[in-house]
């Protein structure tokens, strides 16, 4: 591993799922301040489903995300504030707002087979002077050849990096190796990797991605994220330091902020429990876990049955309305 990685800390975006999008401005401010002091490169702040995600379908935010972004920018001295945008949920309007408030980077996220819908937003971000990256979600659900094809599209639109996004935490180590290697050989832009820990493989898979040449890496403090969470920032930075590959992060400060700043705001520990394990096992979008648990309680079902059925139907992010439909159908079959 000789490439210097650039870390994007996603606990204030992916972690929004884990707290039902109830972050306060004070919590965001304290986390950003601590991450900035530890030397974090980028800190992503937005609704769990990206800009514009605060809706009844995806979950209403306690505080408007633009206020959270504004607070994050005010607290960050050296870290850059990033946002996520999923076309169809977020629009150019929200992107402009985030930019005006000081966001410096946007990841434009699409399903792994739908990169064509990202062209407008990648181009607009570049026009605004932001770093503009592509984010191919549910990367486990398409053949490597399709992943390469879609990544090339994002690169052609101007993406400075394209992420392999293991939204379900379903990729096995050799599958990560194969995908990163394929993109590294096919693209001239940077390659990124975003992991979920539903099979307890997030750190291992991330190290393989770095070994294969990925230089844009996501992680979250305490693993705070959807499902079983993401690659744990304090663990990853400690391991990279031991390997002589520390990308400029203060390991002790990362450990301290994980315990004293982030842990107190978590609703529950990020564990590989039966629900999150079922996500990785069935290959379902990690943010579906809490919605499926609620539906299971309503209809008297095992949430794992809902998740497995969603996996069989190849449901993707943005189809959260299907969770209740599936639960209702399963309940009628009991």
Check whether 304 is labelled as a binding-site residue: no
> What's the pLDDT score for residue 1?
45
* Residue ending a domain, choose from 207, 230, 265: 265
Q: Where residue 190 sits, what CATH number does that domain have?
A: 3.20.20.70
> What's the pLDDT score for residue 72?
98
140 and 218 belong to one structural domain: yes
Check whether 140 is labelled as a binding-site residue: no
Check whether 14 is labelled as a binding-site residue: yes
222 DSSP 8-state letter = G
Helix (H) or strand (E) holding 208: helix 202-211
167 and 315 belong to one structural domain: no
Note if 17 is an active site residue. yes
Helix (H) or strand (E) holding 85: strand 80-85
Nearest one of 334, 220, 229 to 280, comparing CA atoms: 229
Q: Is 281 inside a domain boundary? A: no
> How many whole angstroms separate alpha carbon 250 and alpha carbon 272?
27
Q: Is 272 inside a domain boundary? A: no
250 DSSP 8-state letter = -
Check whether 93 is labelled as a binding-site residue: no
Q: Is 73 inside a domain boundary? A: yes
Q: For the chain, what is the domain count? A: 2
> Which tens digit of pLDDT belongs to each residue from 221-241?
999 999 999 999 999 999 999
> How many whole angstroms separate alpha carbon 297 and alpha carbon 327?
10
Strand partners, 136: 110, 164
173 and 296 belong to one structural domain: no
Q: Is 179 inside a domain boundary? A: yes
> What's the pLDDT score for residue 317?
65
230 and 143 belong to one structural domain: yes
> What's the pLDDT score for residue 92?
97
Check whether 99 is labelled as a binding-site residue: no
* Residue ending a domain, choose from 208, 235, 265: 265
193 and 315 belong to one structural domain: no
Q: Is 279 inside a domain boundary? A: no
> What's the pLDDT score for residue 58?
87
Residue 41 lies in domain: 6-265
Q: Is 271 inside a domain boundary? A: no
Listing DSSP states for 67-135 in one string gives HHHHHHHHH-SSSEEEEEE-BTTB-HHHHHHHHHHT--EEEEEEETT-GGGGHHHHHHHHHHT-EEEEE
42 and 169 belong to one structural domain: yes
Three-point CA angle 88, 94, 97, nearest 5°: 170
Check whether 58 is labelled as a binding-site residue: no
Alpha carbon of residue 160 to chain centroid = 18
315 and 215 belong to one structural domain: no
215 and 323 belong to one structural domain: no
Strand partners, 135: 109, 163
191 and 314 belong to one structural domain: no
> What's the pLDDT score for residue 285?
77
Q: Is 282 inside a domain boundary? A: no
228 and 297 belong to one structural domain: no
257 and 293 belong to one structural domain: no
> Which tens digit of pLDDT belongs to each residue from 248-305?
999 999 999 999 999 999 988 899 988 889 889 988 877 788 889 899 999 999 999 9
150 and 229 belong to one structural domain: yes
Q: Where residue 292 sits, what CATH number does that domain have?
A: 1.10.8.60
SS3 21: coil
What residues of the chain score a pLDDT lower than 50?
A: 1
For residue 173, count other CB atoms closer than 10 A to its CB.
14
Q: Is 275 inside a domain boundary? A: no
> What's the pLDDT score for residue 2?
53
Catalytic annotation, pick one of 17, 41, 140, 291: 17
């Amino acid at each position: 591993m000789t490439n210097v990685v650039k870390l994007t800390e996603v606990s204030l975006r992916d972690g929004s799922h884990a707290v039902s999008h109830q972050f306060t401005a004070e919590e965001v401010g304290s986390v950003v301040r601590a991450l900035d002091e530890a030397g974090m490169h980028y800190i992503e702040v937005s609704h769990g489903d990206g800009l514009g995600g605060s809706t009844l379908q995806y979950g209403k935010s306690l505080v408007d995300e633009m206020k959270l972004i504004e607070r994050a920018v005010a607290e960050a001295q050296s870290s850059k504030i990033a946002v996520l945008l999923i076309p169809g949920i977020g629009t150019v309007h929200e992107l402009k707002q985030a930019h005006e408030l000081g966001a410096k980077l946007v990841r434009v996220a699409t399903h792994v087979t739908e990169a064509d819908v990202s062209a407008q937003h990648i181009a607009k971000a570049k026009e605004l002077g932001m770093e503009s990256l592509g984010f191919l979600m549910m990367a486990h659900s398409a053949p490597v050849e399709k992943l390469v094809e879609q990544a090339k599209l994002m690169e052609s639109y101007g993406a400075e990096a394209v992420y392999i996004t293991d939204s379900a935490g379903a990729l096995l180590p050799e599958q990560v190796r194969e995908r990163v290697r394929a993109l590294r050989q096919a693209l001239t832009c940077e390659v990124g990797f975003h992991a979920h820990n539903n099979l307890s493989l997030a750190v291992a898979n991330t190290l393989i991605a770095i070994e294969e040449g990925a230089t844009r890496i996501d992680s979250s403090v305490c693993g705070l994220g959807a499902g079983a969470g993401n690659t744990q920032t304090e663990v990853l930075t400690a391991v990279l330091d031991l390997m002589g590959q520390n990308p400029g992060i203060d390991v002790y400060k990362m450990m301290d902020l994980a315990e004293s700043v982030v842990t107190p705001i978590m609703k529950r520990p990020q564990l590989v429990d039966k629900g999150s394990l079922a996500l990785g096992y069935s290959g379902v979008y990690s943010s579906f876990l809490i919605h499926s648990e609620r539906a299971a309680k309503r209809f008297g079902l095992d949430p794992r049955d809902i998740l497995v059925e969603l996996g069989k139907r190849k449901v993707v992010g943005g189809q959260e309305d299907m969770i209740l439909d599936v639960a209702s159908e399963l309940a009628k079959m009991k």
